[in-house]
Amino acid sequence: MNEKQMISGSEILIRSLIREGTDMIFGYPGGAIMPVYDALMNHTDSIDHVLVRHEQGATHAAQGYARASGKVGVCLVTGGPGATNTITGIADAMLDSTPIVVIAGQITTDLIGTDAFQEVDFTCVTQPISKWSYQISCPEEISRVVARAFFVAKSGRPGPVVLSVTKNAQVGMAEYIHEKVSFIRSYDDDPEIDMDAIEAAADAINHAQRPFVLAGQGIELGNAQEEFRTFVEKADLPFGCTLLGLSVLPSSHRLNKGMLGMHGNLCNNVKTNECDVLVAVGMRFDDRVTGNVDTYARQARIIHLDIDASEINKNVHADIPVLGDCRKTLKLITERLLPANHGKWISSFAQYDREEYEKVVSKELHPKEGPLNMGEVVDAVSRACGAGAVLVTDVGQNQMMAARYFRFSEKRSIITSGGMGTMGFGVPAGIGAAFGRPDRKVCVFTGDGGLQMTIQEFGTIMERRVPVKIILLNNNYLGNVRQWQELFFHKRYSFTRLDNPDFQILSSAYGIPSKRVIDRKDLMPAVEEMMAEDGPFFLEACVAEEGNVMPMIPPGGTVDNMLMEC
Amino acid sequence: MEQTALYTIIVHSENFSGILNQVAAVFTRLQVNIESLNVSASSLPNVHKFTICCRTTEKNIEKILKQTVKKLDVISAACYTDKEIFSSEIAMYKISTNVFDDSESLSRLLREYNTHVVEVTPEYIVVELTGSGEDITELREKLQELGCIRQFVRSGRIAVTASNAEKVSELMEKREQIGNKRQL
Ligand SMILES: Cc1ncc(C[n+]2csc(CCOP(=O)(O)OP(=O)(O)O)c2C)c(N)n1
Ligand SMILES: [Mg+2]
């Protein structure tokens, strides 16, 4: 006779997480999640728990972990304020399609609706900013709901899932039942491919004289990097990358023309409005890419490959929508492509690269005098860390400069907050990335503003000796906003000047070795010292206070009309 | 200003709590007012049906449908013109009888609109009208002119599609097949 073995909901939760492949949790305990933390102690051989210093840090770390490793990131937090502290990270993961599961404690079911201590209707709060949010109210449903949560987070267009677990579900007893979810009838994670669309897309590309491809993060999320490579190589298609798609193929690939959008490369933005066929792959025509949509690629036939039907025709009308998993759709289209040679068209990009080099890049990377530029610091770090490094950034000028001047050699090498632009993302996301890919070097570029938004995570780095290289591009300004003030608000620097602490002293308080660089001649030695260090390192580069990120499409401007100088 | 039109949207979802909130949030986000909303069981077991009327632009309606169906527990969302559906609405009117007693025009009105009497008391009568939204509105306006309405309520539009094919049932069958294949 089989006797039911009753265990606590908390125990079921942990076992379910292990079953789903969780070996890492970023979390912070509190009253409403204590039973789960207690159960976690029995499983420290299977799950490594990283104690962060703020729950927002837990979510960004889980994001960094997920994006570096390709696995689902997991956060564990208490209810009330612990839960609400994760909101920024959940919203960020939603906009950037990052698979994370956030598990938050919740007060006992009987007390819900009484304004009990730390009661927040977290399911309701997070529904609009998550892919799925659900409250677990009894131990019996835990195993199945966790299975569903992981399936939802990582399938289709990935995204954050939120589970609130009531105290009574954590302490109640039930039997652990092995559950697996690979299908939800109301949720089409793998849309059926329309072969007519495939034919139409291939036909349009085969007839194109001036084809141009936009590469988005969907290629990384769909693990379609090789399919994408064959696609562009077979038909000789030049491509530009979105911020999140920068590492789909190496920066050095001959067809890779760099970044798109507001601070992207001039040639891409000019050619967007010259091409005859524009193929968008796993990208969503964000306004930071398109500028004014009314003047965006009007001359081109637009082919849009995406797994999310709600992205098709959302911002830009698709003449040929190709719904589906791009790993499959790219392969099907490529099979129908005729080998082509677009040499003449591709070489027409070079003139704009030259113009950008003369007017922007050479000044940024090779100044003769004056203070350090952000770009030259990024360039030095990128060269010193060699192939295989992961770039993590914060938000602002530091982010744009890192994206512009860092060179990528491997897939899944850029982790940055694209959709939300969340200041404070960098350091905790870097921690997550370092745990997700301990075999790769992780470089975090941050600003003096953003660093101070999650600087408490230095504590996590200290405790776990997380081997992240943090490079602060210190301009003593909220530089990105200052740049806009300079350009669009008559240089009225309203509250963007920062009176900063001594970051090196701060860093040494956490036992993190550091270096400050002011002079150009000290840059390379300091970078090399940082790279030689096995553990964490903090490098402060004091850069030009009023440097600008150029070129730029002014907000609402037209893609092919980039500002080159100001 | 882009042109707006009245749309009837039919949404099918799982019968879980909290879905109404999520569906409504799609409209709130796009700042589209819901004119009427009805939620009920459908012909399919455990599937709920929402009939939603709203006035908005063609561009918004595509966003509304796609973003609604994107909600995990929503099965389908489609929008229809009046020609593609049979629709109906029910309204109840509570009318003071003192006006009724001495008003021949009132009884003519109630007969004219084919109302159905639900209750008669010395103080008031309750009548019910099933029909198009316009009829219901018209009768309310006429009764208001007579100054006899005490209470008024309407259900919001409910609709069934006019096509031969039952799209949701077909979709559900197809999904079931995919589900069975995956479970193997
Ligand atoms: C949480 C948050 N608050 C405000 C902003 C608006 N914002 C965008 S960039 C920026 C300035 C960032 O300054 P800093 O971190 O020093 O980076 P820099 O641009 O100087 O490199 C601000 C305030 C934001 N993106 N995120
Ligand atoms: Mg700054």
Q: Which of A364, A471, A480 to mutate to test the pocket of ligand 1 (most atoms within 8 A of CB)?
A: A480
Task: Give the dihedral of Cα atoms A78, A80, A83, A85; nearest 10 deg.
Answer: -120
The answer to whether residues A336 and A452 belong to one domain is no
Domain count, chain A: 3
Instruction: Identify the domain boundary among A331, A347, A363.
Output: A347
Instruction: Identify the domain boundary among A284, A314, A347.
Output: A347
- Beta-strand pair A239-241/A211-215: parallel
Residue A203 sits in a domain of what CATH number? 3.40.50.1220
- Count interface pairs A-B at CB distance under 8 A: 48
The answer to whether residues A212 and A144 belong to one domain is no
Instruction: Decide: A546 in ligand 1 pocket, CB within 6 A.
Output: no
Q: Which two tokens stand for residue A354?
A: 């030259």
**B67 and A187 in contact by Cβ < 8 A?**
no
Q: Is residue A294 within 8 angstroms of chain B, CB to CB?
A: no
Contacts of A37 (CB under 8 A, 6+ apart): A27, A29, A76
The answer to whether residues A395 and A537 belong to one domain is yes
Q: Over range B102-106, report the average pLDDT.
A: 76
The answer to whether residues A527 and A386 belong to one domain is yes
Handedness of CA A195, A257, A474, A524 (dihedral sign): positive
Q: Which two tokens stand for residue A485?
A: 């003030």
The answer to whether residues A231 and A151 belong to one domain is no
pLDDT above 90 covers a percentage of chain A that reads 98
CA distance B153 to chain A (A): 30
pLDDT at B1: 67
Q: Over range B27-34, report the average pLDDT.
A: 94
Residue A76 sits in a domain of what CATH number? 3.40.50.970
pLDDT at B156: 93
Partners of residue A182 in chain B, C-beta under 8 Å = 182-183
pLDDT at B102: 61
User: Is A184 inside any structural domain?
Assistant: no
Nearest to A152 among B67, B70, B72 (CB): B72
- Cα of A343 from ligand 2 centre, angstroms: 41
Q: What was the ipTM of the complex prediction?
A: 0.91
Instruction: Decide: A378 in ligand 1 pocket, CB within 6 A.
Output: no
Instruction: Decide: A395 in ligand 1 pocket, CB within 6 A.
Output: yes
Segment A407-416, tens digit of pLDDT: 999 999 999 9
Residue A566 has pLDDT above 90, yes or no: no
Beta-ladder partners of A243: none
Range in A24-33, A36-45, A296-305, B117-126 the model is least confident about = B117-126
Range in A345-359, A433-447, B18-32, B90-104 the model is least confident about = B90-104
Cα-Cα end-to-end distance for chain A = 81
The answer to whether residues A259 and A338 belong to one domain is yes
Q: Best interface-test mutation with B: which of A163, A185, A314 has the largest number of B CBs within 10 A? A: A185
φ/ψ of A114, rounded to 5, equals: -110, 10
User: Is A529 inside any structural domain?
Assistant: yes
* CB A449, CB A474: distance < 8 Å: no
The answer to whether residues A149 and A22 belong to one domain is yes
Instruction: Decide: A75 in ligand 1 pocket, CB within 6 A.
Output: no
The answer to whether residues A462 and A381 belong to one domain is yes
Residue A331 has pLDDT above 70, yes or no: yes
**B183 and A182 in contact by Cβ < 8 A?**
yes
Measured between alpha carbons, how far is residue B120 from residues A394, B94, B126, B143 in Å? 72, 10, 7, 17
Residue B100 has pLDDT above 60, yes or no: no
Residue B117 has pLDDT above 90, yes or no: yes
pLDDT at A2: 64
User: What is the average pLDDT score of chain A?
Assistant: 97
The answer to whether residues A377 and A484 belong to one domain is yes
User: Is A77 inside any structural domain?
Assistant: yes
**B175 and A185 in contact by Cβ < 8 A?**
yes
Q: Over range A292-315, report the average pLDDT.
A: 97
* CB B84, CB B48: distance < 8 Å: no
**B74 and A186 in contact by Cβ < 8 A?**
yes
User: Is A396 inside any structural domain?
Assistant: yes
Q: Best interface-test mutation with B: which of A129, A186, A317 has the largest number of B CBs within 10 A? A: A186
Residue A3 has pLDDT above 80, yes or no: no
User: Is A31 inside any structural domain?
Assistant: yes
Q: What residues make up the domain containing A14?
A: 6-175
What is the C-alpha to C-alpha distance for residues A105 and A119, in angstroms, rounded to an integer?
10
Segment B129-171, tens digit of pLDDT: 999 999 999 999 999 998 889 999 999 999 999 999 889 999 9
Q: Which domains does chain B have, with CATH numbers?
A: 5-80 (3.30.70.260), 86-154 (3.30.70.1150)
Q: Is residue A315 within 8 angstroms of chain B, CB to CB?
A: no
The answer to whether residues A317 and A409 belong to one domain is no
Q: Over range A386-409, report the average pLDDT.
A: 97
User: Is A185 inside any structural domain?
Assistant: no
Segment A491-514, tens digit of pLDDT: 999 999 999 999 999 999 999 999
Reported confidence tier of residue B107, pLDDT bands at 50, 70, 90: confident
CA distance B42 to chain A (A): 15
What is the C-alpha to C-alpha distance for residues A37 and A10, in angstroms, rounded to an integer?
8
φ/ψ of B88, rounded to 5, equals: -160, 165
Q: Which two tokens stand for residue A388?
A: 């295989």
Q: Best interface-test mutation with A: which of B70, B176, B183 has the largest number of A CBs within 10 A? A: B70
- Cα of A431 from ligand 2 centre, angstroms: 21
Segment A207-243, tens digit of pLDDT: 999 999 999 999 999 999 999 999 999 999 999 999 9
* CB A45, CB A23: distance < 8 Å: no
Q: Over range A162-190, report the average pLDDT.
A: 97
Handedness of CA B143, B144, B147, B151 (dihedral sign): positive
φ/ψ of B98, rounded to 5, equals: -60, -35
Segment A278-287, tens digit of pLDDT: 999 999 999 9
User: Is A206 inside any structural domain?
Assistant: yes
- Residue B54 identity (one-letter amino acid): C
The answer to whether residues A166 and A215 belong to one domain is no
User: Is A561 inside any structural domain?
Assistant: no
pLDDT at A386: 85
Q: Over range A374-402, report the average pLDDT.
A: 97
Q: CA geometry: angle at A289 spanning A283 and A291, to 5°?
A: 140
Dump strand ranges (E) for B42-165: 47-57, 74-80, 85-96, 116-120, 124-131, 149-154, 158-161
The answer to whether residues A422 and A512 belong to one domain is yes
Reported confidence tier of residue A395, pLDDT bands at 50, 70, 90: very high
The closest-lying atom of ligand 1 relative to the alpha carbon of residue A448 is 16
**Of the candidates A167, A205, A210, A175, the residue with the CA atom closest to the CA atom of residue A37:** A167
